[in-house]
Structure 1
């Protein structure tokens, strides 16, 4: 039997990039997947490609009412919610002095507040079912320093994961965070950026960057019953970068 047979999974930021890769693997393993994103054109197209067991919902992850609509639509379509993957996020490379207050708040709203809202939205139905898995996508910058704002938000995701895991454990709900390093997404593997990434890869102990599917494999593990005794933990996918 497929590892996620008949599990219902919500994945935010799923219209493209890492979220799309997660969605495809989860569906291959038997899941019914709700894709949410602000990009409705790509989201609709992906859901149609994936078939009847996929549903796309346009979703502003910083909006509490949108989260309520996602939960309702998921339950109306598939009857339950087994897994939430808080994948949506943005990056930034500005210095502290070049980061405005509005810039900073936008990063925190999308990367941090959205995770809080997502957990708050799905926990009641998971509590009623006495089971569930919440997977929060952080970053190695939730473990070590990086750009202002982005690093702050990813450390917060790590902390929220632990707090929620302790609160939810008695109800059969597991909460874990994933901390990817450098991932070979189309956005970074092109032009001058590709050269810089390939040069940086030589400093990684495994001497390469990760493929998106390697992160999706961890999402699959945490969404499945294979990880039934794992909660409140960080799962690092960085080729040994943070071990140095």
Structure 2
């Protein structure tokens, strides 16, 4: 599919696996210059190696404002700017109401802080390019799931920030959207399908 994104610079967080890796491949197919950030060194290196010359992998854990700032600065040093920021990184750690408040706050910080920080540090370049911001939410913030209090809170906040930023940045021709996936089975849960779901199917496959 030709979307007219040739040579656009795309920065993706959590890009080594799952939805993030699929986004990396999709933007590569559109002939973009792609930078993705992930703490998974092995998966990230493999994806970058197989993706061609217009891809860069930054190994980082985006758990501090400074690590986010460095990721943005490295992206600009690689390709000169940022046209698209995809805030994809996040993890459902299954923390429910029995979780101590300190762990709850730590989880919310892990899933939320980097979204604000990455957007904050990317904003000057997005203004220059009149670019796009895509945040990854979750259906959990709409429907609930049970035992996901911290994750639901963070994703609900991301949804709210998306609306806020869309209003704030519209006059500057920066588009802001939130993608809200439902259930996505990662590689780490492949055995779940084989051991739990597949035996219940008539064909066993």
Q: Distance in 1 between matches of 2:122 and 2:199?
A: 39
Q: How does 1:74-223 map to 2 (within 5 A)?
A: 74-97=75-98, 99-129=99-129, 131-146=130-145, 147-191=148-192, 195-196=196-197
Secondary structure of the structure 1 residue equivalent to 2:180: strand
Q: Distance in 1 between matches of 2:194 and 2:18?
A: 17
Question: 1:70-117 CA deviation, whole Å, 9 max, x = no partner?
Answer: 2221111111100011111010224311x1234212321221111111
Secondary structure of the structure 1 residue equivalent to 2:34: strand
Secondary structure of the structure 2 residue equivalent to 1:160: helix
Question: Cα distance 1:103–1:196, how it changes in 2: closer, same or farther (>3 A)?
Answer: farther
Secondary structure of the structure 1 residue equivalent to 2:144: coil
Q: Distance in 1 between matches of 2:150 and 2:165?
A: 22
Question: Cα distance 1:67–1:94, how it changes in 2: closer, same or farther (>3 A)?
Answer: closer
RMSD: 2.1
Secondary structure of the structure 1 residue equivalent to 2:45: helix
Question: Cα distance 1:194–1:132, how it changes in 2: closer, same or farther (>3 A)?
Answer: farther
Provide the aligned length of Structure 1 versus Structure 2: 197
Q: How does 1:24-63 map to 2 (within 5 A)?
A: 24-63=25-64
Structure 2 stretches of 5 or more lacking a match? Answer: 201-205
Q: Distance in 2 between matches of 1:196 and 1:94?
A: 24
Secondary structure of the structure 1 residue equivalent to 2:162: helix
Question: 1:131-171 CA deviation, whole Å, 9 max, x = no partner?
Answer: 11111001001212232111111111100101111111111
Q: Distance in 2 between matches of 1:110 and 1:193?
A: 31
Q: Is the 8 A contact 1:75 1:81 kept in 2?
A: yes
Structure 1 stretches of 5 or more lacking a match? Answer: 200-244
Q: Is the 8 A contact 2:95 2:104 kept in 1?
A: no
TM-score, with structure 2 as normaliser: 0.88
Q: Distance in 2 between matches of 1:49 and 1:158?
A: 33
Deviates more, 1:183-192 or 1:35-44: 183-192
Question: Cα distance 1:58–1:197, how it changes in 2: closer, same or farther (>3 A)?
Answer: farther
Q: Distance in 1 between matches of 2:188 and 2:133?
A: 27
Moved over 6 A (4+): none
Secondary structure of the structure 2 residue equivalent to 1:180: coil
Q: Distance in 2 between matches of 1:144 and 1:193?
A: 27
Q: CA deviation at 1:193?
A: 7.7
Q: Is the 8 A contact 1:23 1:33 kept in 2?
A: yes
